[in-house]
């Protein structure tokens, strides 16, 4: 990855005052090009802004590696903020490939919408009524009736986010797995989810969408009143993230298993 140090870089920043201040400092120190001309993107902000940047990248023909620096709150997906030696850090960075999920949601009115998700696709009840959801894997019904607040499918990169808060498993980044995790399940009461190979298709059918409406959310994009949802991994649009070797994402995800 040493040659990345010489590639044209674009700089994007969250609108927060801290990120904007960091952007001004970097622009005084380094030369940047417009996003359309870049082979590398430096992103300043938090995890939410990085996800936004990656989603914007999915709409471009050219998928550039992204090197994020934390000017937000948690910054789990970000490198440490430093002004100095940016080119050297980029040249020495470790690259990780992240394949997004592809959500195809059909609403009760018959409209079909497709959205990518880098962290997870989650189905959530819209009212006080619990959701009733049929769950299938590769066309086989594995749960005829999941009664719950919701259910999600998470990538390894997203397994430490909402998935972990819902007591789902942490997945190693290179595992080629996805987590299927219920959110506050009522029935089956003892089902706590599953770990699946990421070449399978996970499908959901809402059993009573009028009385018990459900929304589907691909990261931050919501589709309300869905009837069916299909989730697969889209390897054709794999994204590249860059991390300092001492701050590598795969090790950080593994170490989250020992966090207290």
Residue ranges for the binding site for NAD(+)? 47-48, 119-120, 149, 157, 160-165
Q: Which two tokens stand for residue 24?
A: 């001004």
* 9 phi-psi bin (left φ>0, alpha ψ -120 to 50, beta other): beta
Q: Are strands 140-148 and 150-154 parallel, antiparallel or unpaired?
A: unpaired
* 219 classed as catalytic: no
214-236 b/e with 16+ CB inside 10 Å = b? bbbbbbeeebebbbbbbbbbeee
Q: Over 40-92, what HEC string results?
A: EEEEEECHHHHHHHHHHHHCCCCCCCEEEEECCCCCCCCECCCCCCHHHHHHH
3-state secondary structure of 186: coil
Tell me 34's DSSP state: -
Is residue 106 within 8 A of residue 226, CB to CB? The reply is yes
Q: Which two tokens stand for residue 85?
A: 């030696």
Give Cβ neighbours of residue 96 (< 8 Å, ≥ 6 apart).
173, 240, 241, 242, 243, 248, 249, 250
Catalytic annotation, pick one of 6, 47, 219, 250: 47
Dihedral through CA 244, CA 168, CA 99, CA 228, nearest 10? Answer: -150
Catalytic residues: 47
């Amino acid at each position: 990855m040493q040659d990345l140090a010489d590639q044209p870089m674009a700089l994007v920043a969250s609108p927060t005052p801290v990120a904007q201040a960091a952007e001004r400092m970097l622009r005084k120190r380094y030369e940047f090009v417009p996003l359309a001309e870049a082979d590398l993107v430096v992103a300043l902000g938090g995890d939410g802004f990085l996800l936004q940047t990656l989603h914007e990248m999915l709409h471009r023909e050219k998928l550039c590696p992204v090197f994020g620096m934390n000017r937000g709150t948690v910054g789990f997906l970000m490198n440490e903020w430093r002004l100095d030696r940016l080119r050297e850090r980029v040249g020495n960075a470790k690259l990780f490939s992240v394949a997004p999920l592809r959500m195809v949601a059909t609403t009760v009115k018959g409209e079909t919408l497709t959205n990518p998700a880098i962290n997870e696709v989650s189905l959530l009840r819209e009212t006080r009524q619990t959701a009733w959801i049929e769950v299938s894997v590769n066309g086989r019904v594995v749960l005829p009736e999941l009664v719950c607040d919701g259910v999600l499918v998470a990538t390894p990169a997203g397994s430490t986010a909402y998935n972990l808060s819902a007591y789902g498993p942490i997945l190693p980044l290179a595992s080629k797995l996805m987590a299927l995790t219920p959110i506050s399940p009522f029935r089956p009461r003892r089902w706590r989810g599953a770990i699946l190979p990421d070449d399978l298709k996970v499908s959901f059918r809402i059993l009573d969408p009028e009385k018990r409406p459900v929304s589907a959310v691909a990261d931050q994009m919501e589709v309300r009143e869905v009837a069916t949802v299909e989730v697969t991994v889209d390897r054709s649009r794999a994204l590249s993230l860059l991390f300092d070797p001492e701050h590598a994402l795969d090790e950080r995800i593994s170490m989250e298993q020992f966090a207290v």
